[in-house]
Amino acid sequence: MKNLLAIVFFSSILSFTAKSQESDLKPFKVDVSLGYAIPGGKGAKGGVLFAVEPKYAVIPAFSVGLRMEGAVVARFSGYDENGEEMDASVKASGSYLLTGDYYFTDNYSFRPFAGGGAGIFSLASVEVNSTSGEVSGGTKFGGMVRAGFELSHFRLGLEYNLIPKTTFTGYDENGEMTSGLTSKNGYIGIKVGVCIGGGPR
């Protein structure tokens, strides 16, 4: 009897696993999105972003991908060692993140999801109003969390990019060295886009 129960139990698990691997949707797709970037920091102004993300569904409910994104922020605010706000302009920056998304349903008409990722953020050079010259950009390791939904080939998402702050040294209007200037690099991305591929088989 024990052996029979064990056989039935393991047969049920195998049957459930096999069923979970089945899907009426194609596993490969590419997300192409446009959006609005909202940088961190008091008084910061946002800009535009563009992203391309090829993905593969390793199981129907979970896909992995590579997000390649460029963001152009019009202006952000930095802070000196005394906490004084300092305006600065910034050029385009990019990121390359390995991502994962979990889908809560397998309904192609409406698929809410949540996910995240981690990778490299390439930061643009910064020109601070109260300092001379530019501060060269660099790269930082960061992460991202997101949530949203897909309606057939339409995708809407909200992302938060977690990037460590940048600290640099500059010179004020009198030519005196000002140390400890910091700028917040994280930003929120509001995206709309299309899913190329990944539809019904």
The tally of CA atoms less than 13 A away on the side-chain side of residue 35 is: 27
Q: Output the pLDDT for position 162.
A: 93
Instruction: Judge if pTM exceeds 0.85.
Output: no
pLDDT grade, residue 13 (50/70/90)?
A: very low
pLDDT surpassing 90 at residue 51? yes
Rounded to whole angstroms, the Cα distance separating 97 from 71 reads: 14
Q: Are 55 and 64 in contact (CB under 8 A)?
A: yes
Determine which of 21-30, 73-82, 136-145 has the lowest per-residue pLDDT on average: 73-82
pLDDT grade, residue 46 (50/70/90)?
A: confident
Q: Are 97 and 139 in contact (CB under 8 A)?
A: no
Rounded to whole angstroms, the Cα distance separating 97 from 91 reads: 20
What are the domain boundaries of the chain? Answer: 26-197
Name which of 95, 73, 75 is nearest 87 in CA terms.
75
pLDDT surpassing 60 at residue 146? yes
> What would the CATH number be for the domain defined by 26-197?
2.40.160.20
